[in-house]
Amino acid sequence: MSRTLSDDHSSWFTPDELTSLRHRLPFLYVDIVPVRVDGDGVITRIATLLRTPREGPIQRALVSGRVMYHERLRDAIARHIDKDLGPMALPRLPASIVPFTVAEYFPTPGITPYHDPRQHAVSLAYIVPVDGDCQPSQDALDIAWYTPEEIIDPAVISEVVDGHGALIRTALATTGRLI
Provide the binding-site residues for a second copy, judged by CB under 8 A: 1-2, 5, 10-13, 21, 23-28, 35, 37, 39-43, 67-75, 78, 92-102, 104, 106-108, 111-113, 120, 122, 124, 127, 129, 166, 169-170, 173-176, 179
Shortest Cβ distance from residue 107 to a second copy (Å)? 7
- Closest to 93 measured CA to CA, from 110, 80, 111: 80
- Do 10 and 47 meet the contact criterion of CB atoms below 8 Å apart? no
Shortest Cβ distance from residue 92 to a second copy (Å)? 6
**Chain centre to alpha carbon of residue 83:** 11
Shortest Cβ distance from residue 96 to a second copy (Å)? 5
C-alpha–C-alpha distance, residues 116 and 108, integer Å: 8
Which residue number, 96 or 138, has a Cβ lying nearer to a second copy?
A: 96
H helices, E strands: number in the chain: 6, 8
Shortest Cβ distance from residue 83 to a second copy (Å)? 16
Which residue number, 58 or 97, has a Cβ lying nearer to a second copy?
A: 97
**Chain centre to alpha carbon of residue 70:** 20
Q: How buried is residue 44: exposed, middle or buried, by Cβ count under 10 Å (0-12/13-18/19+)? A: middle
Which residue number, 140 or 164, has a Cβ lying nearer to a second copy?
A: 164
